[in-house]
Structure 1
């Protein structure tokens, strides 16, 4: 492994493990080699790998600095056999760190002077191992003494065991926190340097020069806080401790809030040792899982519900006892409807469930967290109903999950849909530009409706991996509407909290940062300067193009995130969470939230799901950083394998950031951020409006001539058993997750290569007319499909008049209006096309959602436009929800449409009539003769058309085929 190849790694613990594996292999081959020239080449390869390891081994406790020096000495002066034995045993010890729940004690003293490792079993055989970072300048003798002092306090019945990594500078502390995922605690002492005495050029991507300068310029007391803040930005879950020789009473009152405890350096190490163990034990706790496990092993008598409880209806059955063989007994022992006996009620938690949710809140950075057992579909409806009432206006991404559409319909909200930028070439949408959101808010402000705007709902990240600049979106929207509520649907992004770069784009992190920012003097000064520059009534064009600053005296941070824990972290199916960071929750939302939670949550929740959420939180809190690093590493290896394979490159291509995010939304100008290095990735994620999650690999397969749905079903699933979820007409989406293994990545690559080889063989055997058919298929998939349709507008019967007009509609009224007998009819595609071209206004009576791409092209009350029909006519997906080709579209009859409301007369009364269709109250019968809603919406948006044209012009542009 050369230094250059090491730079290709994103998870450096993986580079380290691979380097030790390669040293072991080369050392073994050198022992067995009889060719002096080959043995010399192996020696040179070992020397290169040891050089790489010399830069990074100091950031791990095992084999430690002494142990690694002995390995180097054996390489220089020992025999090949002796060296090979020592390396093999070190490799086993290093690998044990990554077999979770390692059961052996490791330290630098475990490497004997002869190079042979002696691994001593711990007292119980069940202790979990982790490492503690100590930041202080020490001599070798002082470091050994500290290690031995801490080891003296170990007890055989300790649940955890740890060793220490000592670094002498702030710079090295940053590197260690990035590199070593086994670090679970950090002890900072005052005597540390700002700059490292070691060569860190290979690891410079982990260093921020600005931090080094700040450490250099400040007093020792200030440097401690700076270091604590920076380390917490990298790994907020790691417990920080301070040891000082000054008056701890004075220091404790002014410490950074990131410190868990402060200790006097002369009072011994026992309390520090116990605190370190207690800190890890706190995150390791699983209150509900433990309670359920305890309950499951108690004999009980049930005279209530659940015959299956404790397996009683199963284990004695002659016909279904094979369930026990398949599932195991414990799952039945834990089945109960009890909320007492050590358990708890999900609807009114006061015991272990309450504690489990509090631990989730700490892990995910919220002020409150709630478990949901019906998936994020239910979580979205709970948050929506808790915050939105009838006639409140909600801005929502039209391409969001269907649960948002249905939830808003049930709540009776007035829905104003937001259009994302289109990617016509791949038949998918990106995300909603900030100018689109601001423009809708400004339109509503001009119409006098801003007070009714309650919430913005956005998906972060999208199915295809597009991520918003969450903090900027909220800042600029709060500058227009200071009490706006935000719901960020993070169904596919629960893992984002546990990586330093991803975290900055999460809802809870952004909410916390926004609170601090609103309290800062710098933001207040910026707001006052901007207010003076803009004046009393700035025009909309200026507001659209200005980065707005919220009023710190008026803005309230009100943020909700819904996450599918089961999708990207560890949980049983349907396990989800709601995270809340709402400054007005207690005063404005608490009661409504409780009622919404009661309305949508089962009174018989599945305790196995709840226990798995508790366990999944524990895993994320203790090893989330390592697992997300692994997920990212394997994704990049998959990209490299596809893009660099000579055969795969002929038929497939991994779409890049530049392919999926137009240049207008990437001011950094970086087309492949992660492949350009960590610093470039951080730069892009700090400044670009949208970024791409590199763990999502969208593979363009147009050159195969096979559409996405067929490629998924007939090739990946039927032939190889490879499961994926999303396709488009010419792409398939692969997602790595924290459960992805290197073997599964290798298997996918094998499968893709096999598919490509089959294509090669078919080409060799094709007749001329078969080749022409294939060429036409490739041309069809390579060319852009019909332009993706934007939302055409609600029929005026489901809108209310305003001046200027605004596009929000009453989807509840449109949905339930179809319940009246005779209100709807079915019309075939060809007849709908003919009637729309003739100028007739047809209104959808239901949701119509093609899979793929998976967004509703029609919703109840929406006017059917020609671009929607063209898109549907050219759609080549077999699955369309809400549309049956045999009978056509379900639409409103013209006679059943309620009469549109008209502006109030001077005396304040409306002139519209009220009729009833089969007992269902309606506002009146419409003749479909009023102005086209799309035209009305267009007129309302004319002031900002020019600012959007630039983004629209580049949205569908084909970009260079670079990697993410």
Structure 2
């Protein structure tokens, strides 16, 4: 494995002192044990310090800033140095900051201005370079620690005989099998040996962590700026449900973006909560759903003073981010907790172009799919908590209700490792991804047949003044001028060029850049797009996507409707038209067209003619769209609705 190289950025306006410190630390690095390849580099205490902290190199990453508070009487003594340190840490909060002081009185000023950001102090005149180096090396060792992964790796290396679950016994059931031996070769011995059970006490318990899992979660909380962090091995989908059941009792009211992931709507059913659905903005030309207008959110908060929770998705699947700070402030002033589903934005903490994160804007809870942009395995997610009134016992009970008693330890290890990588080299890797994204925008636009949409083109008019920003790592490509249909183009990319894209609408493709995006992948993608552009056809006249109807109203709690038996009525009548018998009935299931994945009906919702017509038109004209939630009876699609007797027996909503 390649040995890491790391930099300590020594920032001081005192050129002589600065040179002596750099020389002394590097001499200590040459003499002492230096597993992280620590090397000191110099920078003057001016605007160049921030620039140096944001610079990326192929060989090393800045990990520590050693900020000189200045000699007493010098121009840089005091506040200027502290303010420079603040700007650096605001841009890169994962960096470790050590201050060089003249005496203890300097520490008082530092404590007033930047106490939370400072990891340690040295005194200027001591010049104890060996001691300073050891402390900085220990700081790096703590940041680079992976308690759970190390324990798992060490246990596997001990080669214990397995007399416990899982049944494959560390892969021995696969090994040398004439039928499934290829699976052993494909997955690998180490992965199978690491697939262990809760019978191994030194690997801690995800359901009640007190050892290495607890230590890893504590490191993750520090890295992501949370008071508490919890590892989840069943994705952000389950994470959302856990939080809902912790904060909401049956009948409690919550405000939610209709654009939220289906797990949020499932959480409404499980918690028994009373939802107030907020219609999201819609870009009708491209079939993209965006954030809820800020005015709509503010009006809902004002109209529902009894609401307990507000949940929003930021960023969206297409990379659209709310201006969260004022929204969260308004919610908190009304006594409403804020949950932000950051499934697609777990990387944001580690690059200033992507911040602020939801937690930095004041969110009480944030759920993140660590596997989406960072390096964790699929299903590996994190729950971050900053709620000052957090009930840890209640949360734990709900967490354990959803978590498996036999968690996959490889998933937990991947979260531990993904956190380490994000802290140690996330900035450099994300900076590379952002540069690739900028380059791809230019190259794809230059084909003449394809065009990457900019923020203003992605937004509908109703949210253009809401301060929404775009995550540049998500590219939405308008294919209209190419003459290709989205399904044809997606098929060509995978069939001819071995390129799999994230998703598509009727006239767009979405590409996702991650820290795993490489120069070679960028080159192959551009080559494919260029070749496909040369094969352009007469531009298609796209059939306008049916316009999703706005939310109607709830007749009862979603949970009440969902758990009734109901009856099934066909979506289309005998003549293939929208079935009028559905008008006025109450839906029992969640009906979700994919794409875009926005529920057109939720349990308890009253069905109106516009909704029936929308479903019928989708079935008749949009063959590439799947309708989740419909039942199939004798080859026909049916909708489960409350029977008249069930409807009469259920309590309504206020």
1:890 matched to 2:652? The reply is no
1:583 matched to which residue of 2?
Answer: 388
| Correspondence for 1:437 among 290, 294, 297 | 297
* CA-CA distance at 1:666 after TM superposition: 4.1
Q: Is the 8 A contact 2:163 2:169 kept in 1?
A: no
1:730 matched to which residue of 2?
Answer: 507
| Correspondence for 1:232 among 86, 89, 102 | 89
Q: Is the 8 A contact 1:344 1:352 kept in 2?
A: yes
2:457 matched to which residue of 1?
Answer: 659
1:171 matched to which residue of 2?
Answer: 47
* CA-CA distance at 1:316 after TM superposition: 5.4
Unaligned runs of 5+ in 2: none
| Correspondence for 1:495 among 339, 347, 353 | 347
* CA-CA distance at 1:146 after TM superposition: 3.2
1:385 matched to which residue of 2?
Answer: 245
CA distance in 1: counterparts of 2:496 and 2:78, whole angstroms: 63
| Correspondence for 1:780 among 542, 559, 568 | 542
Q: Could you say what secondary structure the match of 2:166 adopts? A: coil
CA distance in 2: counterparts of 1:420 and 1:746, whole angstroms: 36
1:259 matched to which residue of 2?
Answer: 118
2:331 matched to which residue of 1?
Answer: 477
**Alpha-carbon deviations, 1:489-515, whole Å to 9, x = none?**
1111000111113121x111112xxxx
**Alpha-carbon deviations, 1:124-169, whole Å to 9, x = none?**
xx4x211111111344x66554333222323464312222221222
With over 3 angstroms needed to count, the CA separation of the structure-2 counterparts of 1:468 and 1:247, relative to structure 1, is: same
CA distance in 2: counterparts of 1:417 and 1:616, whole angstroms: 35
With over 3 angstroms needed to count, the CA separation of the structure-2 counterparts of 1:780 and 1:345, relative to structure 1, is: same
CA distance in 1: counterparts of 2:631 and 2:205, whole angstroms: 43
CA distance in 1: counterparts of 2:25 and 2:574, whole angstroms: 80
Q: Is the 8 A contact 2:583 2:609 kept in 1?
A: no
**Alpha-carbon deviations, 1:821-873, whole Å to 9, x = none?**
xx33334267796654x994233332221111121112222222333344334
Matches within 5 A, 1:699-714: 699-712=477-490, 714=491
CA distance in 2: counterparts of 1:163 and 1:839, whole angstroms: 71
CA distance in 2: counterparts of 1:827 and 1:498, whole angstroms: 48
CA distance in 2: counterparts of 1:737 and 1:702, whole angstroms: 26
* CA-CA distance at 1:728 after TM superposition: 1.0
Q: Is the 8 A contact 1:244 1:264 kept in 2?
A: yes
Unaligned runs of 5+ in 1: 1-100, 103-125, 194-214, 512-557, 668-687, 761-773, 799-809, 900-913, 915-921, 925-932, 937-964
1:861 matched to 2:604? The reply is yes
CA distance in 1: counterparts of 2:582 and 2:66, whole angstroms: 74
**Alpha-carbon deviations, 1:26-72, whole Å to 9, x = none?**
xxxxxxxxxxxxxxxxxxxxxxxxxxxxxxxxxxxxxxxxxxxxxxx
CA distance in 2: counterparts of 1:881 and 1:840, whole angstroms: 20
**Alpha-carbon deviations, 1:415-457, whole Å to 9, x = none?**
1111011111111211111211121222224xxxx2xx11111
CA distance in 2: counterparts of 1:603 and 1:857, whole angstroms: 35
CA distance in 2: counterparts of 1:138 and 1:166, whole angstroms: 11
CA distance in 2: counterparts of 1:496 and 1:597, whole angstroms: 25
Q: Larger deviation: 181-190 or 299-308?
A: 299-308
Q: Is the 8 A contact 1:655 1:699 kept in 2?
A: yes
Q: Is the 8 A contact 1:786 1:870 kept in 2?
A: no
| Correspondence for 1:850 among 570, 586, 593 | 593
2:258 matched to which residue of 1?
Answer: 398
Q: Is the 8 A contact 1:569 1:738 kept in 2?
A: yes
Matches within 5 A, 1:547-946: 559-585=364-390, 589-643=391-445, 645=446, 648-649=447-448, 651-662=449-460, 665-667=463-465, 688-712=466-490, 714-759=491-536, 778-781=540-543, 784-794=544-554, 796=555, 798=556, 810-817=557-564, 819=565, 823-828=567-572, 836=580, 840-875=583-618, 876=622, 877-883=624-630, 886-892=635-641, 894-899=643-648, 914=649, 922-923=650-651
Q: Larger deviation: 182-191 or 453-462?
A: 182-191
**Alpha-carbon deviations, 1:640-660, whole Å to 9, x = none?**
0011x2xx31x3221111111
1:242 matched to which residue of 2?
Answer: 99
1:222 matched to 2:79? The reply is yes
Q: Could you say what secondary structure the match of 2:386 adopts? A: strand
| Correspondence for 2:133 among 273, 289, 298 | 273
Q: Is the 8 A contact 2:320 2:470 kept in 1?
A: yes
CA distance in 1: counterparts of 2:630 and 2:640, whole angstroms: 11
Q: Is the 8 A contact 1:337 1:604 kept in 2?
A: yes
Q: Could you say what secondary structure the match of 1:309 adopts? A: coil
2:36 matched to which residue of 1?
Answer: 160
* CA-CA distance at 1:884 after TM superposition: 6.0
| Total equivalences in the alignment | 640
The alignment yields a C-alpha RMSD, in angstroms, of 2.6
CA distance in 1: counterparts of 2:195 and 2:105, whole angstroms: 51
Q: Is the 8 A contact 2:571 2:612 kept in 1?
A: no
2:314 matched to which residue of 1?
Answer: 460
Matches within 5 A, 1:3-22: none
| TM-score for the superposition, normalised by structure 2 | 0.92
Q: Is the 8 A contact 1:833 1:866 kept in 2?
A: no
* CA-CA distance at 1:327 after TM superposition: 2.1
* CA-CA distance at 1:663 after TM superposition: 5.3
Matches within 5 A, 1:126-165: 126=3, 128-139=4-15, 144-154=19-29, 155=31, 157-165=33-41
CA distance in 1: counterparts of 2:641 and 2:150, whole angstroms: 55
* CA-CA distance at 1:739 after TM superposition: 0.6
With over 3 angstroms needed to count, the CA separation of the structure-2 counterparts of 1:138 and 1:827, relative to structure 1, is: closer
Q: Is the 8 A contact 2:483 2:536 kept in 1?
A: no
* CA-CA distance at 1:341 after TM superposition: 4.7
With over 3 angstroms needed to count, the CA separation of the structure-2 counterparts of 1:753 and 1:307, relative to structure 1, is: same
Q: Is the 8 A contact 1:187 1:241 kept in 2?
A: yes
Q: Is the 8 A contact 2:10 2:22 kept in 1?
A: no
* CA-CA distance at 1:923 after TM superposition: 4.9
With over 3 angstroms needed to count, the CA separation of the structure-2 counterparts of 1:319 and 1:896, relative to structure 1, is: same
With over 3 angstroms needed to count, the CA separation of the structure-2 counterparts of 1:708 and 1:792, relative to structure 1, is: farther
With over 3 angstroms needed to count, the CA separation of the structure-2 counterparts of 1:386 and 1:830, relative to structure 1, is: farther
With over 3 angstroms needed to count, the CA separation of the structure-2 counterparts of 1:163 and 1:834, relative to structure 1, is: closer
1:304 matched to which residue of 2?
Answer: 164
Matches within 5 A, 1:188-203: 188-191=67-70
With over 3 angstroms needed to count, the CA separation of the structure-2 counterparts of 1:881 and 1:458, relative to structure 1, is: same
CA distance in 1: counterparts of 2:351 and 2:578, whole angstroms: 54
Q: Is the 8 A contact 2:68 2:99 kept in 1?
A: yes
Q: Could you say what secondary structure the match of 2:361 adopts? A: helix
**Alpha-carbon deviations, 1:274-330, whole Å to 9, x = none?**
121111111100000000000001132333322323333233545433333222211
CA distance in 1: counterparts of 2:529 and 2:469, whole angstroms: 27
